[in-house]
Amino acid sequence: GAGVSQSPSNKVTEKGKDVELRCDPISGHTALYWYRQSLGQGLEFLIYFQGNSAPDKSGLPSDRFSAERTGGSVSTLTIQRTQQEDSAVYLCASSWTSGTFFTNEQFFGPGTRLTVL
Amino acid sequence: QQQVKQSPQSLIVQKGGISIINCAYENTAFDYFPWYQQFPGKGPALLIAIRPDVSEKKEGRFTISFNKSAKQFSLHIMDSQPGDSATYFCAATAIYNQGGKLIFGQGTELSVKP
């Protein structure tokens, strides 16, 4: 079956522009995570969605970052007024849960490489 | 307290040798410790994981050793192969308290020489 897909695979933008990154999780997976991977900071958690619960935004680095998940499936990560330090690979992962039961395994997409000039 | 410290940063091993990567954590609420393998241009993929109620878990050539009292865990790759050359990340989470969000180590770049 299809894995987690992300688009675009690469995005080059100018400083100050807004960007939207998309994630299509594995069908049926109710938990969705965004992470950022950069040379200086490694892999960092950004935000987590679980079903209809309020998202855990504790990892978002600034209020320029936001994310939404529509219909419990596709998620979009938006970065407003991009800065050069936002350059990184943005990874999305999904996992299956049932209520409070977590299967633990997170399946990662290939990532979106964002370059801010 | 949320940090996971991983070492070494890079590792070179001869084919057939044993690769050992170590991680340490502080948060005693962590209850799930996975290892992820990442190839260039790909997302991380789960390799093997352990819960703190066991001290060792083995899957094929890959073994996790877990020391709860020392708050350390390690990955051993037996009979290392060139195809194992990748970046390895340890991670930790408190499944039910933190919703499974992973705290990653800094990664180890493994190179297995033929």
What are the sequence ranges of the domains in chain A?
12-107
Which of B6, B90, B102 should one mutate to test binding to chain A, selecting the residue with the greatest count of A CBs within 10 A? B102
Q: According to the model, what pLDDT value does residue A102 have?
A: 55
Element (H, E) at A77: strand A75-79
Average pLDDT, chain A: 91
* Strand bridging mode B19-25 / A101-102: unpaired
Task: Please state, for a pLDDT cut of 90, what percent of chain A lies above it.
Answer: 73
Architecture of domain B4-113 in this structure: Sandwich (2.60)
The Cα of A17 is separated from the nearest Cα of chain B by a number of Å equal to 25
Give the pLDDT band of residue A41 (cuts 50, 70, 90): confident
The Cα of A107 is separated from the nearest Cα of chain B by a number of Å equal to 7
User: Which residues lie below 8 Å from residue B53, measured CB to CB, with a gap of 6+?
Assistant: none
Superfamily of domain A12-107 in CATH is Immunoglobulins (2.60.40.10)
Q: According to the model, what pLDDT value does residue A78 have?
A: 98
What Cα–Cα distance (Å) separates residue B79 from each residue in A61, B36, B47, B82? 41, 19, 16, 10
Instruction: Read off the DSSP letter of residue B93.
Output: B
| B62 and B47 Cβ atoms separated by less than 8 Å | yes
- Whether the link from the prior residue into A61 is cis, omega within 30° of 0, is no
Task: Decide if pLDDT at A75 tops 80.
Answer: yes
Give mean pLDDT in consecutive 10-residue pieces for chain B, a chain of 114 residues.
90 98 95 94 93 93 96 98 97 82 95 96
Instruction: Read off the DSSP letter of residue A56.
Output: B
Measure the CA dihedral A43/A45/A49/A50, to 10°: 90
Residue A47's identity, in one-letter code, is I
